[in-house]
Structure 1
């Protein structure tokens, strides 16, 4: 098991550095790309085996199912392990402000709140009829802006963590004696 370093008083813990958190974010995005292919692959397999139109071939249904898959992925890893694989690689753990593991409900709330990273760009793209590339560019600007807003937080936590009573902390293995 690993210990949280620099976390003697949980309420005062500073977040891991922004560069490290963003590196974990990019790694997470690469991993999510593969995970996001699962609903589409299952839909294609269904069509190939049955010859029938699959409900997931609807763009809205596919997006909703993919979002559900992401919600299950994050809420399970955050509540059971306290970190996803990219977070583990970058020695980052999510805990409550009291330093405890997240409940499944709090992990799900954190996932929903973390959608704030992308919601403004998605809304602007939908309202303005932007192309996928324009929406992607808006999402990139939004992500950078949202990440920089963490610097305004007293402990440099992301604002969705402040809203959910969670925090990111450094998590390094305890050296063997």
Structure 2
């Protein structure tokens, strides 16, 4: 059980609902659009730094020769940037931008924000869930509390939060 190191979310457990697969997928679509833009900007910066180091002519020659078709450094950087994007939002507010629109949040089972270690476990297991032909996500359809594999693995849950009254 988690020692309360910071404040729990204000909603009571009775106010929260489980989240359907559809709502999760639509929020993921929103976030995918944002992360694709972020990854494009990151790649642009990476290529600018490469051009500065190698020179534009040398970079062009190497690119045309196929030397950068698979670039493990760029792939690693993009993976880390994606984790930092999701990890930041999950640990700070429990909500990415897409999740905010769809009124869903990630939290611990006790109602606290997830920690960075939980965010990391969740992030990696979400990839596993997707790479197993989406079975980790489809698990929501058979789990009584609508939890995916990465929810189980990271000891977290996705909840639908009530709309705030103005």
The TM-score range, normalised by the shorter chain, is: 0.7 to 0.9
| 1:18 has 2:18 as partner | no
Aligned pairs (5 A) from 1:108-127: 108-120=120-132
Structure-2 residue corresponding to 1:158: 148
CA shift for structure 1 position 168: 0.3
The structure with the greater share of residues assigned to helix is 1
Cα pair 2:94 2:113 within 8 Å, conserved: yes
Gaps of 5+ in 2: 1-8, 63-67
Cα pair 2:87 2:120 within 8 Å, conserved: yes
C-alpha spacing 1:74/1:155, structure 2 compared with 1 (3 Å): same
C-alpha spacing 1:146/1:158, structure 2 compared with 1 (3 Å): same
Quote the Cα distance in structure 1 between the aligned partners of 2:87 and 2:76: 16
Structure-2 residue corresponding to 1:74: 86
Quote the Cα distance in structure 2 between the aligned partners of 1:104 and 1:147: 22
Q: CA RMSD in A?
A: 2.4
Normalised to the residue count of structure 1, the TM-score between the two structures is 0.72
Structure-2 residue corresponding to 1:101: 113
| 1:8 has 2:20 as partner | no
Deviation sequence 1:119-163 (CA, Å, 0-9, x none): 34xxxxxxxxxxxxxxxxxxxxx23x4332211112111121012
CA shift for structure 1 position 3: 5.0
C-alpha spacing 1:95/1:117, structure 2 compared with 1 (3 Å): same
1:60 to 58, 66, 72: 72
CA shift for structure 1 position 61: 1.6
Quote the Cα distance in structure 2 between the aligned partners of 1:85 and 1:91: 10
Deviation sequence 1:30-88 (CA, Å, 0-9, x none): 1111111133111221133341659xx55222111110111111111100111100000
Return the index of the structure with the highest Cα Rg. Answer: 2
Normalised to the residue count of structure 2, the TM-score between the two structures is 0.77
Q: In the comparison of the two structures, how many residue pairs are matched?
A: 147
SS of 1:118's equivalent in the other structure is: helix
Gaps of 5+ in 1: 121-141
